A and B are shown apart, each in its own frame.
Chain A
Amino acid sequence: MDHIAIADQDDESHHPNSFFSKYIWSQDHKVIAIQYSITAIAVGLVALVLSGLMRLQLGFPDQFSFIDPSNYLQFVTMHGMIMVIYLLTALLLGGFGNYLIPLMVGTRDMVFPYLNMLSYWTYLLAVIVLMMSFFVSGGPTGGGWTLYPPQTILPGTPGSDLGIIFMLISLAIFIVAFTMGGLNYVTTILQARAKGMTLMRMPLSIWGIFIATILGLFAFPALLVSAIMMMFDKLLATSFFMPAIYSLGENLQHTGGSPILFQHLFWFFGHPEVYIVALPAFGMVSDVISIHARKNIFGYRMMVWAIVAIGGLSFVVWAHHMYVSGMNPYFGFFFATTTLIIAVPTAIKVYNWLLTLWRGNIHLTIPMLFAIGFIFTFTHGGLTGLFLGNVVVDLPLSDTFFVVAHFHMVMGVSPIMVLFAAIYHWFPLLTGRFLNNKLGKIHFWGTFLGTYAIYLPMHYLGFLGVPRRYFALGDTDFIPASAQTLNASISVSAIIVGMIQLIFIINLIWSVFKGKKSGPNPWHANSLEWHTPQCPPIHGNWGEKLPEVHRWAYDYSVPGVKDDFIPQNLSQQQVVLLDENDISGNSGEKNS
């Protein structure tokens, strides 16, 4: 059978022929990826500002009259939801997934380009609806990012009138957008790979994105179901989750619903969501480490199996978020056990990253710095996860700053370190230029050290028993006054780290126009995306002929080969071997 790429089939022509169809209403996966990324980063900056406002209140209570308890809770809620869903999920899968999948598997585009385009515009609509909630009467919801009923939809909680409705509608729209994109990613990976690209020859970035997308497709329905049912409870007075309850002295007509049901549904989505964010990051960091250490990834198969195993296990650990909800002790034991089990494949990945670095030719480029930084922050966050996964340790630490520190290290800072690594790494592919190195180093060290200045002391605050989500601590006997000093220090660090991100944004904009030209394949990488006829790749990616794949993506520093990398599309006959003079010359140098 002839190998005809989707975009080459005459009935699927979607070549852009105007500015509008090229840059706005585009069906090109690369343009859609950039649209996703810009929107996600923009909305992420809003969330960053919200966290700054939170920290101002926590560090310097009663100093800022425009922050009251209500809008503090709104900042907390919107910061969490935006960061987890609208920034990380959208940027990792909508942004990097869209850009990398067709290029790395060697196809011209996603299999459903129109659906892909629709996915972005639906995502944008979800973001707009969410942002609109800032401007409705009562403001956005302040019920916490977990949106637990009954309090989220009852009077007294900020945004319980319109804010929560906008949030639920926005989430539903987002899930529709994700499903459209997700079906595209999965189908493209399974059905549109280049000749010779077996699943086990795919770079780990694609494995991470692939499994994360499947997790998203299977986990987001739980959020959709809970959003719809909560919307019914709010607007139609049903009692799915709402118990028989008095509110502000009034007996509401709800009867016997179960808030715990909502918690189960939410976390059935919520825990896989951690891995929806983490798995693409795991994949991308593996590629960055291997390329910048000039060494094949250690234990490729084990890395793939670990990604698959983590994906499967992520669906059976959700109730470790609910130990304090009053569950059967056997139930708690089961979920503590599964939580410990999921640490095994995760630890395998960490060891393999370290063993890839071991005796590698490590180039301390900016992407590599961020990748190594990730290993630190992720190990740190993962280890505190082992504390919280155990019921007896979790109970006293639940709802304290220890939890906040843990999840920020593991799914806030760590994926963001990988995102930065990935942006610095793939920026030359997008633009043909490098990001500025000096600004990049300032950015890395400021972010890496700064996040430790924020989150290490936060663990200690958690041990002291400082609760999360509180507007102010007031007079609390068990919390010493020095905790407030620590809080102030954390806030100063947070604001500095926030400001440092501006350096990155400036670097990003400046380098698009003025950055040092990179030429094709500046990192000497093997994977297909660096071997398009043009760099940056143009619409259709591959010119007249699609690439053929002859090997995996990790042939670095192969003995007896002239270059220290062998691209995936190079056949054995095309590989240039070292001649005898080279070999004797090298050994002579070594001897001298």
Chain B
Amino acid sequence: MKLLTILMEKPWLTPDYDVNQVNSVQNDQSKIGKTALLFFLMVVTILFLLITVTFLTRSQYYDFQALAGQPWLPFTQPKQLWLNTASLIVASLTLQLAVMYSKKMKVDVSLIFVSFATVFSCLFIIGQLLVWQKLTNTGYFIDSNPANSYFYLYTGLHGLHLFGGIFALVRVLAVFFRRTDPKRFSKNLSLCAVYWHYLLLVWILLFLLLTATEDTYKTIALICGF
């Protein structure tokens, strides 16, 4: 509705009302960060969504073999993936705790939680690499089946995004140590936390998708009309 109100304004009829009354933006640093992050997350969402559309289409082709379902398939009991998921959940939670403490100006405690979040995020990435190693050791190479190809593609892209997040987090720390501005630190950290929660959500959806059975793919494809 707000958008409609904005678009219905008749600018030629409104000269010279008090500029302070006019809806104007305030160069608020936290709003700027939030807006930029919102658009970035939309871009990343579209990226994963488009791959998923191709995945669901491709899953209906004759040469596609799901990675879960039968007992001998690698993700019928994906223990390592569960462990990795747990790591990412812990990373996300600890980062949220870091934000909470930074808002209370307890920067020392906050920094400890940031360290935890970084370590668990790294553990997640290492865990994913271990899954890759296990897959290749058991003959599930990137080119041996489209389902494998998508697994490597999805997890690679997701890992790259998390890696970028860690880079941003390190930069937030560097800025804090340079300027020691706890308010700004808190605002930046909360943006990082949103990004982490988002990546956790993406991973959970990917986990569900990549460990589903052929019947599930068929059902989804049927519902979506692929």
Contacts and interface: CB of A to CB of B under 8 A. Distances in A.
Interface SS of B by simple majority: helix
Interface in A523-550: 548-550
A217 B27 contact: no
B11 A552 contact: yes
B27 A257 contact: no
B7 A196 contact: no
Contacts of B149: 232, 236, 238-240
A192 B35 CA distance: 11
B19 A112 contact: no
Nearest to A269: B50
A3 B29 CA distance: 11
Interface of A: 1, 3-6, 9, 11, 107, 111-112, 179, 182-184, 186-187, 190-201, 214, 217-218, 221-222, 224-225, 228-229, 232, 236-240, 244, 253, 255-258, 261, 265, 268, 296, 300-301, 304-305, 308, 548-552, 554-555, 571-573
A5 B32 CA distance: 12
Interface string B159-196: 00000000000000000000101001000000000000
A218 B36 contact: no
B7 A301 contact: yes
B182 to A, nearest CB: 13
A191 B146 contact: no
A228 B7 contact: no
Contacts of B14: 551
Contacts of A257: 58, 61, 146
21 contacts: A112-B36, A182-B39, A187-B36, A190-B35, A199-B6, A199-B7, A199-B9, A221-B43, A222-B46, A228-B153, A232-B149, A240-B58, A256-B61, A261-B57, A261-B58, A296-B12, A300-B12, A301-B10, A308-B7, A552-B12, A572-B16
Nearest to B55: A240
A111 B22 CA distance: 21
Interface string B95-128: 0000000000000000000000000000000000
A256 B146 contact: yes
Contact of A198 (B6, B29, B32, B142): B6
Contact of A3 (B12, B27, B43, B61): B27
Interface residues of B, number: 48
Contact of B26 (A1, A179, A187, A304): A1
Contact of B25 (A179, A192, A305): A192
Contact of B11 (A187, A195, A201, A237): A201
Contacts of A112: 36
Contact of B63 (A9, A237, A239, A548): A239
A186 B35 contact: yes
A255 B51 CA distance: 19
B58 A1 contact: no
Given A217-B39, A238-B149, A195 B19 contact: yes
Nearest to B6: A199
B146 A239 contact: yes
Contact of A229 (B10, B16, B54): B54
B215 interface: no
Contacts of B36: 111-112, 183-184, 186-187
B50 A268 contact: yes
B16 A550 contact: yes
A159 B8 CA distance: 52
A576 to B, nearest CB: 14
B43 A198 contact: no
B8 to A, nearest CB: 8
B72 interface: no
Contacts of B25: 190-193
Contacts of A555: 12, 15
Nearest to A197: B24
A590 to B, nearest CB: 26
A589 B26 CA distance: 49
A195 B17 CA distance: 12
Contact of B181 (A4, A11, A238): A11
Contact of B16 (A179, A198, A232, A571): A571
B189 to A, nearest CB: 16
A192 B32 contact: yes
Nearest to B21: A196
Given A221-B50, A240-B54, 20 more contacts: A3-B27, A107-B27, A112-B36, A191-B25, A191-B27, A192-B27, A192-B32, A193-B25, A198-B23, A199-B7, A221-B46, A224-B47, A225-B50, A236-B149, A257-B61, A258-B58, A268-B50, A301-B10, A551-B11, A573-B16
A67 to B, nearest CB: 38
A191 B35 contact: yes
Contact of A187 (B10, B35, B57, B184): B35
A186 B27 contact: no
B82 interface: no
